Structure 1
Amino acid sequence: MKYIRQFGIILSVTCAGELLKYLIPLPIPASIYGLVLLFGLLFFKVIRLDQVKDAGEFLIEIMPLMFIPPAAGLLVSWEQMRGMLAPLCVIIPVTTCLVMFATGKVTDFMLKHKEP
């Protein structure tokens, strides 16, 4: 029952992110709205970490499985992407490194300013 409640909380926040996407006319994905909303709820202690921790850990554990459908979609649209292969081979490693760098810096910042 604990997992159902935790998934329900995460699903509710995700649905609120979808709703915000339609209410706020910005080109921001609904998942980003949901992440920011969940972060805010956790930060301001509206939701405690233990209320979503187990379900969140489960979702992180199965995350690699979530990449299978997009990878299959890339294989299906290979003919359309063939012309963009050179730019993609440059853009993907560069943006991956930038995201890893930014994530590391944010994590360092958060750990240094963590409340005791």
Structure 2
Amino acid sequence: MLHALIAILICQVLGESAARVLSLPLPGPVLGMVLMLAALIASPRFAALIRPTAQGILSHLSLLFVPAGVGVVGHFATLGTQTAAILLAVVGSTILAITAGALTFALVAWLTGSRDD
């Protein structure tokens, strides 16, 4: 497990370093994930090493949302004054996302000639 955690952290550090040194517009952890994906595709043995640790991390992923919840509670007064704007943004973005997904699905179905049988 320790080797897998070290490998995951090395990918993140390499991604962060590349983003900063090359002044790339992508976040370092995203580049690290791309590096990790390339390594997982290139080496099935590496994938077997990482899999148990990654599954353990993913099974407890909800714990990573605790800091976000604490941040919301910590800024509750600020959020209270912006309730209408936040509500409008959440509802509006949800409607836009659903609409974009439905239109994309319809376009792909039309392009591929899928029919509703």
- Structure 1 length-normalised TM: 0.68
The structure-2 alpha-carbon separation of the partners of 1:97 and 1:21, relative to structure 1 and needing over 3 Å to count, comes to farther
Structure 2 residue aligned with 1:6: 4
Runs of 4+ in 1 over 4 A off after TM superposition: 94-98
| Alignment partners' CA distance in 1, 2:95 and 2:45 | 36
- Greater relative contact order (Cα 8 A, min sep 6): structure 1 or 2? 1
Q: CA RMSD in A?
A: 2.7
User: What is the match of residue 73 of structure 1?
Assistant: 71
- Whether contact under 8 Å (1:42, 1:49) holds in the other structure is yes
Residue number in structure 2 paired with 1:88: 90
Q: Could you list the runs of 5+ residues in structure 2 that have no partner in the other structure?
A: 106-117
C-alpha separation between the residues in 1 aligned to 2:40 and 2:14? 15
Quick one: structure 1 residues 97 and 51, their matched pair in 2 at CA, closer, same or farther if it must change by over 3 Å?
A: farther
Question: 1 CA distance for matches of 2:50 and 2:18?
Answer: 21
> Percent same amino acid among aligned pairs?
15
**Alignment size in residue pairs:** 97
> Partner amino acid for 1:87?
A
- The residue aligned with 2:18 is 20
TM-score of the aligned structures, taking structure 2 as reference length: 0.68
Q: Distance in 1 between matches of 2:96 and 2:18?
A: 27
Tell me, in whole angstroms, the C-alpha distance in 1 between the residues paired with 2:33 and 2:46: 15
Larger radius of gyration: 2
Q: Is the 8 A contact 1:13 1:38 kept in 2?
A: yes
